[in-house]
Amino acid sequence: MADDVKVEVRRSGRRFDAEAVLDLGADVQTVWDTITDYAALPSFMPGIRSCRVLEREAAAPGAGVPAAEQLVVEQRGEFRFLLFAQPMTVRLHIEHQPLHMAEAKAVQFDLGIFKRRVIDVFEGRYELLPMAVRGRAPRMQLRYTAVIGLHLPPPPAIGSMAVRQNLAQQLHAVAAEVARRSSRPASKPRSRPTR
């Protein structure tokens, strides 16, 4: 259930900073393939109806660092906040550092009649951290952080609650999909306080 996912959210005016840590019983490749399988996102991620990669470009590798990848991705779905639901199209610039990090920044929003008047900023980042577990199946820690900036401030308590609920649903969906792909029962994500 989505209630199993705990997300820490801090609010400063119209800005929300969120962080969650998920301990997953899966290998790094399975977790990476899940979070970067953009064509499959609509099949397991709440609020996403379609997702397509518009551009993909490999960057030159650095010393001892695998080649990064730059993508432009378009997502169509629904933006939910409180009792408000609005069809949304967002274009994201995404940077991949294979098997380690995927960072997305929204560069264009289309919220129908609202255009950019609801969201000013969205940035999300997945980090994959292997967990040292001797003599057991591989486990990964998936750390997710997000920054969301709204054009207008929502009510004080309700705003943080809505951000927490939306992110918890999304993170639970990732955990369930990783578990499905690795054919193991879903593990419960745990929260980590925001620094």
What secondary structure does DSSP assign to 22-41, as a single string? EEESS-HHHHHHHHT-GGGH
| 189 is a domain residue | no
| 192 is a domain residue | no
Whether the CB-CB separation of 14 and 149 falls below 8 Å is answered with yes
Residues 27-41, mean pLDDT to the nearest whole number:
96
Separation of alpha carbons 192 and 195, rounded Å: 9
Whole-number percent of the chain with pLDDT over 70: 75
CATH number of the CATH domain containing 162: 3.30.530.20
Q: Give the pLDDT of residue 180.
A: 93
| 48 is a domain residue | yes
**Is 60 exceeded by the pLDDT of residue 108?**
yes
| 44 is a domain residue | yes
Q: Give the pLDDT of residue 137.
A: 72
Using pLDDT thresholds of 50, 70 and 90, give the confidence band for residue 13. Answer: confident
177-191: per-residue pLDDT in tens? 999 998 855 555 554
| 126 is a domain residue | yes
Sign of CA dihedral 35, 170, 25, 180: negative
| Domains identified in the chain, total number | 1
Give the long-range contacts of residues 4-7, CB within 8 A, separation 24 or more: 4/172, 4/188, 4/189, 5/168, 5/169, 5/171, 5/172, 5/175, 5/188, 5/189, 6/168, 6/189, 6/190, 6/191, 7/164, 7/167, 7/168, 7/171, 7/191
| 195 is a domain residue | no
| 82 is a domain residue | yes
| 194 is a domain residue | no
- Find the helix packing angle between 156-182 and 28-35, rounded to 10°: 130
Backbone angles phi, psi at 37, to 5 degrees: -90, 75
Domain containing residue 78:
2-59+67-182
